[in-house]
Amino acid sequence: MYIHTPSSGTGNRSLMPESGMRLKVKGSEMYAYDLALSETMTLAQACALIDEVPEDDVPRYDCGLLSQIETVQAIAEALSATPTQDADWSADGGYLTAGSVVIYDGYTWQVIQTHKPQTGWEPDKVHALFRRLATLDEPPGQIPEWVKPTGGHDAYKIGDKVTYQGKVYESLINANVWSPTEYAAGWKEAS
């Protein structure tokens, strides 16, 4: 990994991975192609927070999700944030850490990846950042409606139950991203 400084002498310095590699925030599942650096941050300081991983090891749904967490300093702030529990989601709020729980539009959502919320990244719109847990008035154990997964992070596992078109189904496979009508062999009708 290296620091790229624009040849014009103006513009942002960037932390860049070597060819065939991507940047990964240590201790997380956050990836990036490059990250902006302040004028004072050294390569050693950045390497304390960021790893390089082979491009082929990066889940395709994660690439580029750090584009809004633009600096290594912001990542350090996000990683040191205390997870919130059952807070109302707000586009104006501070960083949401992975594992935090927020409430949005009557639903409870778990944060999948640490990020700074913003308009357009509401929990019901960006499934790479949030996983719906339950409605506030659902009794414990109620089977949720099937929702199209957006990647491996929210795909259904063997034994997961969903309600789909008025029936309850159980997943027969891991990494199940298909509805019971799209791939019937991946589901069985359950009681």
Cα separation, 47 vs 26, in Å, equals 9
Question: DSSP labels for 51-98?
Answer: EEEEGGGS-TTTTTGGGGS-BHHHHHHHHHSPPPSSEEP-TTS--B-T
Cα separation, 32 vs 175, in Å, equals 24
CATH code reported for the domain at 143-191: 2.10.10.20
Domain 82-140 shares a fold with domain 143-191: yes
pLDDT in tens, 117-135: 889 989 888 878 887 765 5
Of 78, 19, 81, 21, nearest in space to 49 by CA? 78
pLDDT in tens, 146-184: 888 877 777 888 888 888 998 999 999 988 889 999 999
Q: Compute the average pLDDT of residues 15-37.
A: 76
The model carries a pTM of 0.42
**Over 70: is that where the pLDDT of 6 sits?**
yes
Q: What is the pLDDT of residue 27?
A: 67
Q: Compute the half-sphere exposure of residue 57: CA atoms within 13 Å on the CB side of its CA.
A: 12
How far CA 20 is from CA of 5, 30, 55, 104, in Å, comes to: 20, 17, 5, 39
Q: Class of the 82-140 domain?
A: mainly beta
Q: Greater confidence, 80 or 8? A: 8
Q: What is the pLDDT of residue 33?
A: 74
Q: What is the pLDDT of residue 62?
A: 42
Q: Greater confidence, 109 or 185? A: 185
> What is the Cα Rg of the chain in Å?
20
The domain segmentation of the chain, as residue ranges, is: 2-80, 82-140, 143-191
Tokens standing for 157? 């596992």
pLDDT in tens, 31-47: 777 777 777 777 777 77
pLDDT in tens, 56-108: 777 654 444 444 444 555 555 555 554 445 578 888 877 787 777 888 887 77
The pLDDT-based confidence of 136 (bands split at 50, 70, 90) is very low
First to last CA, the chain: 53
Q: What is the pLDDT of residue 157?
A: 83
